[in-house]
Structure 1
Amino acid sequence: MAVIGIDLGTTNSLGCVYRNGKAELIPNAYGSYLTPSVVSMTEDGKLIVGQTAKDRLITYPERTVSSFKKDMGTGRSWKPGEKSFLPEELSSLVIRSIVEDAQNYLGEEIEEAVISVPAYFHDEQRVAVKRAGALAGIHVERIVNEPSAAALASYFTANEEQNMLVFDFGGGTLDVSLVDCFDTMVEIVSVAGNNRLGGDDFDRLIAEHFLREHGVARQQLRAQEYAVLLKQAERCKKLLSEQEEVVMHAMVGDQVYESTYTMDRLFEESKALLKEIRQVIGRALKDGKMTIHDVDLVVMAGGSSKMPLIQKYIRHLFHKAPMVQGNCDELIALGLGLVCGVKERKEEIKDYILTDICPFSLGVATINEADPDRAYMANIINRNTVLPCSRVRRFYTASDQQDYVVVEVHQGENTYAQDNLLLGKIEISVPPKPKGKEAVDVRFTYDINGILMVDTRVVSTGVVKTHIISQKIPEAELEERVRELEKLKVHPRDLSENQQMMERLEALYQEVYPEQKEQVQQMIRTFEEFLDGQNPRQIQGYRRYLEKAVSMLEYYDPFEEEFDASESDWDLWDEEEAQDPDNEETDEEKYWKKEGDDHSWTS
């Protein structure tokens, strides 16, 4: 019985197996490696998956669903027809389809699958993926981050020691990973991502601008008309990779509209999306403590990485042509096939080690004396820590004669615990003593499969308890936050300038290095104390200090050393010349610094 890898994508999904010394993609019943992640329900209640379902997006849009991967682990339901389904239930149908294709292709039963997820998926989303596998009747022990799989596939082919940046841009998600490749090690250094940004956003953007150009409101379109418009937008996007100009047609009611698209126009309308992409790359570089000069190779993965606009933008940022290896949308699946080979201890690949990291910080809630209803997040394992890992931190009682401690386990980067994902609560009995005279050591042990073990030890008694937080994450929704009563007079914390500063501090806390988090958290505590004191002069003085301190901490642009991208010129490239990696400097001058170009970047 074989183990297969499944790249469960937002737009398409693929299967792969390791045999005969290599990773081998698995074709579906249509002879294609790509199975659309689409589900449709017929009028008689039958479910259709894959290409046939995708074809019904136009004809039966109200009975067909796609892109449901974005909502994994959220509890949101989708309704392809009369019945509602959770995203993991819909995903299980896609997984089942790929497993059946694999069994038909390989002629043997499939006992286990290794499934990829976006690197920035949190625990509930990862658990939902495992649940989808279980619903499909397949055992899923290992979850692999998509950029990690792509990095393994690239390194296994090139076998060259280097610092690699994997740019994984799919239909609905963006992941960027810095990877250190040496010997038989593929070590993830840092990850950053956006689970709500993908190639589908460019389709919607083209459609929205098309409607705006012709003065048509979205509400005027029937579901079927809008589905056709999105299809035309996707076609326009793809054709721009082959020709300089594309005419896009769409019918609304009895009226036919048309617009002409060029790469220049697509760039102009996509500036906001490109800025989001740059921010994710910058965050990965910052967390990995690297500059663009430290990156030896940029690897493009994910179907949306095939867009010439995206490849050109990456070339612009890094001053070098990215590596586009075969079909970008197959790279992750090939990496998963290699992971299967490692898991099955195949001779040619058994010594390869793929390390991964914790994409989000893990910590516990601690008391906030200035605002007891908003507990602080105290990190125990910081984001980008190499897995597996084990960390311990000591916490003290907060009140006299306290006889129990509640350990709230959270995941996320926000300064306040309630703004992060609650993974579980643990109640521990402690001997009643004066405030601060009793302590509990809390140890987190986190493995590569996403299983979190929490050990608590009461310091005075030595009593140790172990709790496993893994696949049975509580699914009940968090209670709504208690809102403060509206005050007759405006409290200083409600003034816009103070709210803005607090928002900057909270955002900064998410972005700084782990060793700087305590400094920022102390700034937040002190600012809250001044706000509670309600002395305008003291608040103003401390806010002025914060303006300087925060500006110094939050100012970082990994791209600025080489150029100011906000002032660089945009110019279309010649595809043939752009493929020449030996003339990069001349290409940069030709494609980006051409005099007389009207188009400029906006940050």
Structure 2
Amino acid sequence: MIVGIDLGTTHSLVGAYSESGSRLFPNALGDVLTPSVVSVDGSTVLVGQAARERLISHPHHTVASFKRWMGTARETRLGDRSFRPEELSALVLRSLLADAEAALGEKIEEAVISVPAYFSDAQRKATRTAGELAGVRVERLINEPTAAALAYGLQNRDGEGRFLVFDLGGGTFDVSILECFENVFEVHASAGDNFLGGEDFLDVLVEAFCQDNHLRQPAILAQEYGQLRRRLELLKRELGGTAVAPLQMAIGGRDYVWSIDEERFARLAEPLVQRMRTPIERAMRDAKLQPSQLDEIVLVGGASRMPLVARLVSRMFGRLPLRHVNPDQAIALGASVAAGLKSRDAKLEEIILTDVCPYTLGTQIARRDPNGQIHTGFFHPIILRNSTVPVSREDQFFPMHDNQQKLTIDIFQGENPLVANNIKLGEITVDLDKRRQTDENGVTVRFTYDINGLLQVEVTEHASKRRHELLLEQNPGLMTPEEIRARLAALAELKVHPREQQENIAVLARAERLYEEFLHERERLQEWIMHFRAILDTQDNTLIARQRGQFVEALDALEAQA
């Protein structure tokens, strides 16, 4: 069985393609959205809503937004051990797979996972590694905007069409321009910002609150800071449907009353809005299109609900965007279609999905100025960004000096004219015949980039015809196969709460979070927690379910008073 997964910065979802179309699977709490949060509780790992509740009550044992660290060697300390981003993502994937298996009644062996279109080679490989650590094959990654287009069924429109998909999630921003014709989805251009999303707009509110109330963020206790972010996230959502949103909360023993209107929020967030314009303009320029040549604009991603996003798109393209598919679910629904295509579901008409290389790939060269001085460190592109993959390009290079003994072909990824500002992926060193002149000691360098994100570099010496080859399967910061095996064994030793206990864990975590927030209700909350733990000890599932329902109602009423 193949499932489609949206592994998001804020929330993650899993689904599959069935006779009635894409179907998303709920988690143990009955919600299709699973928070991408991991928490360590003693020797046990929590994932999802229960972990999210602990962001406030146990901030040093809980982590979120780790998708932004994919492709790096960054480690996060939780409890008595450290986790890499791939491992944290793998724990979320395991939770999603357990939900899918509970719904389908069969083992999941393969997954199609969506990734931001602007994810680098290293980030894509890290996502595959996360799947491997979670116990599934990930042969296919699908770009999030392409998945969104599948969810909208743009391939079913009559005739040809060009579409711009605007995807603003919790942590990343993508824009892709696609063309659909005769069941072919061709991506013409992708651009984006891997560090721009709903979390950054939340940071704007946090900063405004602290400035208005003369608070220093570092001085706020971790628990109170987590509570502030949670309350401001709710306020940010309110701004989508009301002119003014108020906030009242206690910090450091003092009560603060604050409010903000949508107009001021838009003004404070203007620098972020301008950052969104740049990738849009780059994608349009790379695709060589004018706004009038686009048939539709599609908005996806939870953060795209903000009114300032719709205003930006309307101003830039002179029309209202499509938003009739739930923006939180669109990518997962499309990934499920892609999973159905990969499994060759008979109910799906064959669709060909093309992709592009998101970054320029090239090598380092030296240049000689008019005075004969040699200057090194310049980037020479070989495969340009937004080239349709698979793609193969070659160029010729020569040594700078006669009788040169070695020639190093450095492999870089990026858009800067200087290699120092790009990412080095690897190198090949060629031994030259020092008896030859520069024009006799040349090499042909061929870069080949395939649909799975693998880059193959071949260097052929002109004189001897000897070939040198490098397959870039590993990037700096990624785990080696040996490290993956070791981390896989370590993850297998972790205790994960059984799925059937998730509802009980989540309600207790919520009660503990409210205990942190409501200073004057602590005694009552403590009694409720003690009583519910006693009910759990009875192991009477009927009694537990009834008491849990009453517990949730009491917590809802308490929060409604805030």
Fold in common (TM above 0.5) = yes
What CA distance in whole angstroms lies between the structure 2 residues aligned with 1:173 and 1:35? 18
Q: 2:69 maps to what in 1?
A: 71
Q: CA deviation at 1:350?
A: 4.8
What CA distance in whole angstroms lies between the structure 2 residues aligned with 1:4 and 1:340? 6
After superposition, give the CA deviation of every residue in 1:375-428 in whole Å (9 maximum; x if it has no partner).
Answer: 211111000000111111111122222233221111111111232111111122
What CA distance in whole angstroms lies between the structure 2 residues aligned with 1:179 and 1:62? 43
Q: 1:548 maps to what in 2?
A: none
Q: Which one of 388, 391, 409 corresponds to residue 389 of structure 1?
A: 391
What CA distance in whole angstroms lies between the structure 2 residues aligned with 1:69 and 1:229? 22
Q: 1:377 maps to what in 2?
A: 379
3-state DSSP of counterpart to 1:187: strand
Q: 2:49 maps to what in 1?
A: 51
Question: Do the aligned partners of 2:66 and 2:85 also contact (CA within 8 Å) in 1?
Answer: yes
Question: Do the aligned partners of 2:191 and 2:280 also contact (CA within 8 Å) in 1?
Answer: yes
- 1:412-561 pair list within 5 angstroms: 412-432=414-434, 433-470=436-473, 472-475=474-477
Question: Do the aligned partners of 2:71 and 2:477 also contact (CA within 8 Å) in 1?
Answer: no
Question: Do the aligned partners of 1:65 and 1:79 also contact (CA within 8 Å) in 2?
Answer: no
Kindly report structure 1 stretches of 4+ aligned residues shifted beyond 6 Å.
370-373
Question: Do the aligned partners of 1:245 and 1:262 also contact (CA within 8 Å) in 2?
Answer: yes
Q: 1:86 maps to what in 2?
A: 84
What CA distance in whole angstroms lies between the structure 1 residues aligned with 2:472 and 2:393? 15
Q: 1:34 maps to what in 2?
A: 33
3-state DSSP of counterpart to 2:39: strand
Q: 1:188 maps to what in 2?
A: 187
What CA distance in whole angstroms lies between the structure 2 residues aligned with 1:474 and 1:326? 38
- 1:140-539 pair list within 5 angstroms: 140-156=138-154, 159-160=157-158, 161-369=160-368, 374-432=376-434, 433-470=436-473, 472-475=474-477
What CA distance in whole angstroms lies between the structure 2 residues aligned with 1:350 and 1:344? 12
Q: CA deviation at 1:168?
A: 0.3
1 or 2 for the larger relative contact order (CA 8 Å, sep ≥6)? 2
Question: Do the aligned partners of 1:21 and 1:348 also contact (CA within 8 Å) in 2?
Answer: no
What CA distance in whole angstroms lies between the structure 1 residues aligned with 2:324 and 2:186? 20
Q: 1:11 maps to what in 2?
A: 10
After superposition, give the CA deviation of every residue in 1:119-166 in whole Å (9 maximum; x if it has no partner).
Answer: 111111111111111111111111221112112222347524311010
What CA distance in whole angstroms lies between the structure 2 residues aligned with 1:134 and 1:230? 33
What CA distance in whole angstroms lies between the structure 1 residues aligned with 2:107 and 2:380? 46
Q: CA deviation at 1:312?
A: 2.6
Question: Do the aligned partners of 2:399 and 2:407 also contact (CA within 8 Å) in 1?
Answer: yes
What CA distance in whole angstroms lies between the structure 1 residues aligned with 2:327 and 2:80? 36
After superposition, give the CA deviation of every residue in 1:11-66 in whole Å (9 maximum; x if it has no partner).
Answer: 00111212226222122111111110000111x23111011101111211221110
Question: Do the aligned partners of 1:300 and 1:324 also contact (CA within 8 Å) in 2?
Answer: yes
Question: Do the aligned partners of 1:10 and 1:172 also contact (CA within 8 Å) in 2?
Answer: yes
Compute the TM-score of the two structures, normalised by the length of structure 2: 0.81
What CA distance in whole angstroms lies between the structure 1 residues aligned with 2:161 and 2:154? 12
What CA distance in whole angstroms lies between the structure 2 residues aligned with 1:280 and 1:181? 22
Question: Do the aligned partners of 1:398 and 1:436 also contact (CA within 8 Å) in 2?
Answer: no
What CA distance in whole angstroms lies between the structure 1 residues aligned with 2:363 and 2:391? 17
3-state DSSP of counterpart to 1:367: strand
Q: CA deviation at 1:235?
A: 0.6
After superposition, give the CA deviation of every residue in 1:310-347 in whole Å (9 maximum; x if it has no partner).
Answer: 22322232221110032101111111111111111123
What CA distance in whole angstroms lies between the structure 2 residues aligned with 1:28 and 1:373? 58
Q: Which one of 116, 121, 137 corresponds to residue 119 of structure 2?
A: 121
3-state DSSP of counterpart to 1:141: strand
Q: Which one of 84, 101, 104 corresponds to residue 102 of structure 2?
A: 104
What CA distance in whole angstroms lies between the structure 1 residues aligned with 2:218 and 2:456? 50
Which of 151-160 and 80-89 deviates more? Answer: 151-160
Question: Do the aligned partners of 1:3 and 1:111 also contact (CA within 8 Å) in 2?
Answer: yes
The alignment covers a number of residue pairs equal to: 474
**AA paired with 1:117?**
V
What CA distance in whole angstroms lies between the structure 2 residues aligned with 1:269 and 1:185? 42
Q: Indicate how the Cα distance of structure 1 residues 16 and 156 shifts in structure 2: closer, same or farther if over 3 A, else same.
A: farther
Question: Do the aligned partners of 2:152 and 2:325 also contact (CA within 8 Å) in 1?
Answer: no
Question: Do the aligned partners of 2:71 and 2:478 also contact (CA within 8 Å) in 1?
Answer: no
Q: CA deviation at 1:374?
A: 4.2
What CA distance in whole angstroms lies between the structure 2 residues aligned with 1:392 and 1:349? 38
3-state DSSP of counterpart to 2:13: strand
**AA paired with 2:335?**
L
Question: Do the aligned partners of 1:374 and 1:418 also contact (CA within 8 Å) in 2?
Answer: no
Q: Indicate how the Cα distance of structure 1 residues 374 and 30 shifts in structure 2: closer, same or farther if over 3 A, else same.
A: farther
**AA paired with 2:35?**
P
What CA distance in whole angstroms lies between the structure 2 residues aligned with 1:372 and 1:411? 23
Question: Do the aligned partners of 1:5 and 1:340 also contact (CA within 8 Å) in 2?
Answer: yes
Q: Indicate how the Cα distance of structure 1 residues 158 and 251 shifts in structure 2: closer, same or farther if over 3 A, else same.
A: farther
What CA distance in whole angstroms lies between the structure 2 residues aligned with 1:464 and 1:155? 46
3-state DSSP of counterpart to 2:152: helix
Q: CA deviation at 1:437?
A: 2.1
What CA distance in whole angstroms lies between the structure 2 residues aligned with 1:368 and 1:40? 52
Q: CA deviation at 1:105?
A: 1.0
Q: Indicate how the Cα distance of structure 1 residues 402 and 335 shifts in structure 2: closer, same or farther if over 3 A, else same.
A: same
What CA distance in whole angstroms lies between the structure 1 residues aligned with 2:211 and 2:137? 48
**AA paired with 1:341?**
G
**AA paired with 1:231?**
R
Which of 128-137 and 155-164 deviates more? Answer: 155-164
Question: Do the aligned partners of 2:406 and 2:430 also contact (CA within 8 Å) in 1?
Answer: yes
What CA distance in whole angstroms lies between the structure 1 residues aligned with 2:441 and 2:457? 19
Q: 1:547 maps to what in 2?
A: none
After superposition, give the CA deviation of every residue in 1:427-454 in whole Å (9 maximum; x if it has no partner).
Answer: 2233331123221111111111101111
3-state DSSP of counterpart to 2:150: helix
3-state DSSP of counterpart to 1:320: coil
What CA distance in whole angstroms lies between the structure 1 residues aligned with 2:86 and 2:176? 26
Q: Indicate how the Cα distance of structure 1 residues 351 and 72 shifts in structure 2: closer, same or farther if over 3 A, else same.
A: same
Q: 1:493 maps to what in 2?
A: none
What CA distance in whole angstroms lies between the structure 2 residues aligned with 1:409 and 1:198? 30
Give the structure with the higher percent strand: 2
Q: Indicate how the Cα distance of structure 1 residues 156 and 22 shifts in structure 2: closer, same or farther if over 3 A, else same.
A: farther
Specify every segment of 5 or more residues in structure 2 that has no aligned partner in the other structure, as ranges: 480-562
Q: Indicate how the Cα distance of structure 1 residues 404 and 151 shifts in structure 2: closer, same or farther if over 3 A, else same.
A: same
Q: Indicate how the Cα distance of structure 1 residues 394 and 323 shifts in structure 2: closer, same or farther if over 3 A, else same.
A: same
Question: Do the aligned partners of 2:72 and 2:478 also contact (CA within 8 Å) in 1?
Answer: no
What CA distance in whole angstroms lies between the structure 2 residues aligned with 1:457 and 1:184? 39
Q: CA deviation at 1:80?
A: 2.5
Question: Do the aligned partners of 2:151 and 2:330 also contact (CA within 8 Å) in 1?
Answer: yes
After superposition, give the CA deviation of every residue in 1:164-217 in whole Å (9 maximum; x if it has no partner).
Answer: 010000001100111111120111111110111101111111111011011111
